[in-house]
Amino acid sequence: MAELLITMDNYTPIIPDAVIDYYLNKTGFDCDDARIKKLFALAAQKFVADIATDAFQFNQVKQSSRATSKSNKEKKVVLTMDDLSSALTEYGLNVKKPEYYQ
């Protein structure tokens, strides 16, 4: 653990420190050690990256099931709410569109 905390000194997280500070303070977590905060930022970054990867995979499965022999063109990948919702369900989070959008 000590070695991990030493390596966190040189790590610059993608999630800004102000955002991490805000959410840590909102939950009641008070810590002055910047390395611990960077560790939380790294965990949050991994979580978001895993969700995005899973949503991309759901999109790829959906696109491959729709593929026809006619369309071999390269298509732009668009993250849809359905793909994101499917990925979040894998993590135990239920996200649904409000009724007025359906």
Give me the chain's average pLDDT, please: 85
The two tokens of residue 39 are 């560790």
Higher pLDDT, 44 or 72: 44
Asked if the model's pLDDT at residue 96 lies above 90, the reply is: no
Q: Using 50, 70 and 90 to split pLDDT, how confident is the model at 21?
A: very high
Query: What is the per-residue pLDDT for 45?
Result: 94
Residue 41 CA neighbour count, 13 Å, CB half: 20
**Structural domain for 20, as ranges:** 1-91
Residues 6+ apart with CB under 8 A from 12: none
Band of residue 89 on the pLDDT scale cut at 50, 70, 90: very high
For position 101, what pLDDT does the model report?
A: 66
Q: Are 44 and 28 in contact (CB under 8 A)?
A: no
Residue 69 banded pLDDT, cuts 50, 70, 90: very low
Q: Give the pLDDT score at 73.
A: 61
In a domain, 98, yes or no: no
Q: Quote the pTM value.
A: 0.75
What CATH number is given to the structural domain containing 35?
Answer: 1.10.20
Q: Which of 41, 43, 54 is nearest to 82 (CA)?
A: 54
Asked whether residue 102 is domain-assigned, the answer is: no
Task: Tell me how many domains the chain contains.
Answer: 1
